């Protein structure tokens, strides 16, 4: 049966619907960033060793991103497919996708927890840790890994709530955990003197509550589609469809981990701990800039997917045009602040004058290309919403794997440590131009296929 919640994706005015869907999604994304940002802010201000602890936690970022990438593989790979099926009013098929995505998340959790627990120390050294900071990194990630299953469910299954048009509920799923994290962080870190271990424990508890909220909603009658244990048994055909679409967001996030490894290792080699510290701060700032834009894209995705499934080309085109405008303005303004006034961001994370000074020197260079990144974000998100797995995968690979990582290895050989920072804007500009040209060429062709089965 069709419900008012999912029916409005195909009937309400696009502008109003975008606000209703995107605002909660942006809020949810921003709140989600607080899990790591708040930890870093508190850790960076620990008396006596905050700068070293902050750098140590920073080298755990690739592991955290890799765990999130697997949740994106199942969640963002399955949710657009479920939304398209809802547009076709195939509710049983949408529940099959939800169940198989949940099954994948369970398997990923077991494998990831076991692997990183066994090999965390050599991995952290490979990711840029030194003897001075390895203790902080190991303390943080050991506790964080205990909550891997909670991270997988909280992030991976929440996309199925927003994908059925219930963006406010999806936002609440993240808000509940973030509030708990913000409250517990100072208690564990300072009052109970647990340091970085306290920050990690606060994160695990908050993610556990978020995961419980998400699962409780998806098994209730309030959800358009229900999570059922009987549908969690993996089916090869469904897993293949989820994987085909999920590999793109997986690569987008997992390559963020690879990028972090490459940059931290290079900065440690050519600069030292202080330069690694700048990247910890700028990675956090990057999240503050990119995440709101990705939130808008995530909020608009169900609109595009649903109307693509329903065969309504005009609504698909209208939603994309508005998405492009908002995403471009978002990155232009937010990254523009990092370029023009880096001190606005740098002082949030540390009291160390040397670290602030160095960060302010390199931040304008590093963020220059991000000012136009909203163009790529909107195109990439639209390809994903339309079920276009291959082109979405290419775009995901282009910026980081094909361009940024090689540049970050090659440029410092002639430019020194600044070559690592300059690799980012060069990769950004080339990938944005390439993506825009590719989108212009293929978008009309994609719309002409509407009404065919496509990815489903």
Q: Which residues pair with 450 in a beta bridge?
A: 452
Q: At what angle do helices 313-340 and 273-310 cross, to 10 degrees?
A: 170
Structure-block tokens of residue 288? 């503050």
Over the chain (456 residues), the average pLDDT of each successive run of 10 is 57 76 72 70 78 83 89 90 85 92 96 96 87 91 95 92 81 86 90 90 93 94 89 92 86 79 88 87 87 84 82 85 93 93 84 88 95 92 79 82 94 94 96 92 76 44
Global pTM reads 0.70
- Location of structure tokens 């040397």: 354
Q: What is the pLDDT of residue 206?
A: 92
Structure-block tokens of residue 251? 């690569």
Q: What is the pLDDT of residue 315?
A: 85
Q: What is the pLDDT of residue 15?
A: 77
Q: What is the pLDDT of residue 1?
A: 44
Q: What is the pLDDT of residue 453?
A: 45
Q: What is the pLDDT of residue 399?
A: 87
* Pairwise CA distance, residues 10 & 450, whole Å: 15
Q: What is the pLDDT of residue 32?
A: 66
């Amino acid at each position: 049966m069709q419900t008012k919640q999912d029916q409005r994706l195909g009937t309400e005015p696009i502008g109003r619907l975008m606000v209703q869907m995107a605002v909660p999604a942006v809020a949810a994304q921003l709140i989600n960033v607080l899990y790591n940002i708040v930890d870093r802010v508190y850790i960076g201000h620990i008396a006596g060793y905050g700068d070293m602890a902050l750098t140590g936690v920073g080298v755990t970022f690739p592991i955290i991103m890799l765990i999130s990438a697997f949740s994106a593989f199942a969640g963002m790979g399955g949710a657009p497919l479920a939304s398209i099926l809802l547009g076709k009013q195939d509710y049983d098929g949408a529940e099959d996708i939800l169940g198989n995505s949940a099954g994948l998340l369970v398997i990923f959790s077991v494998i990831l927890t076991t692997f990183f627990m066994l090999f965390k120390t050599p991995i952290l050294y490979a990711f840029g840790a030194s003897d001075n900071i390895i203790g902080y990194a190991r303390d943080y990630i050991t506790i964080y890994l205990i909550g891997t299953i909670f991270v997988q469910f909280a992030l991976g299954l929440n996309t199925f709530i927003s994908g059925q048009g219930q963006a406010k509920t999806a936002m609440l799923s993240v808000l509940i955990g973030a509030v708990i994290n913000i409250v517990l962080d100072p208690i564990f870190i300072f009052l109970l003197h647990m340091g970085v271990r306290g920050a990690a424990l606060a994160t695990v508890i908050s993610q556990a509550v978020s995961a419980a909220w998400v699962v409780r909603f998806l098994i209730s009658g309030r959800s358009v589609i229900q999570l059922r244990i009987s549908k969690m048994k993996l089916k090869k055909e469904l897993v293949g469809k989820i994987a085909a679409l999920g590999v793109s967001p997986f690569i987008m996030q997992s390559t963020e981990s690879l990028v972090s490894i490459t940059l931290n290792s290079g900065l440690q080699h050519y600069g030292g701990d202080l330069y690694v510290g700048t990247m910890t701060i700028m990675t956090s700032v990057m999240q503050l800039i990119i995440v709101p834009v990705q939130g808008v894209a995530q909020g608009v995705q169900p609109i595009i997917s649903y109307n693509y499934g329903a065969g309504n080309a005009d609504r698909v085109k209208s939603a994309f045009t508005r998405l492009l405008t908002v995403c471009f303005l978002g990155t232009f303004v937010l990254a523009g602040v990092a370029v023009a006034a880096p001190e606005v961001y740098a002082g949030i994370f540390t009291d160390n004058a040397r670290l602030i000074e160095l960060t302010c020197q390199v931040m304008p260079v590093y963020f220059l290309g991000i000012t136009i990144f909203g163009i790529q974000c909107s195109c990439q998100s639209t390809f994903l919403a339309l079920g276009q797995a291959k082109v979405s995968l290419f775009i995901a690979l282009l910026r980081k794997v094909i361009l940024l990582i090689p540049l970050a290895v090659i440029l410092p050989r002639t430019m020194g440590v600044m070559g690592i920072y300059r690799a980012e804007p060069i990769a950004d500009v080339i990938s944005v131009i390439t993506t825009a040209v590719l989108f212009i060429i293929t978008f009309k062709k994609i719309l002409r296929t509407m009404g065919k089965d496509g990815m489903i």
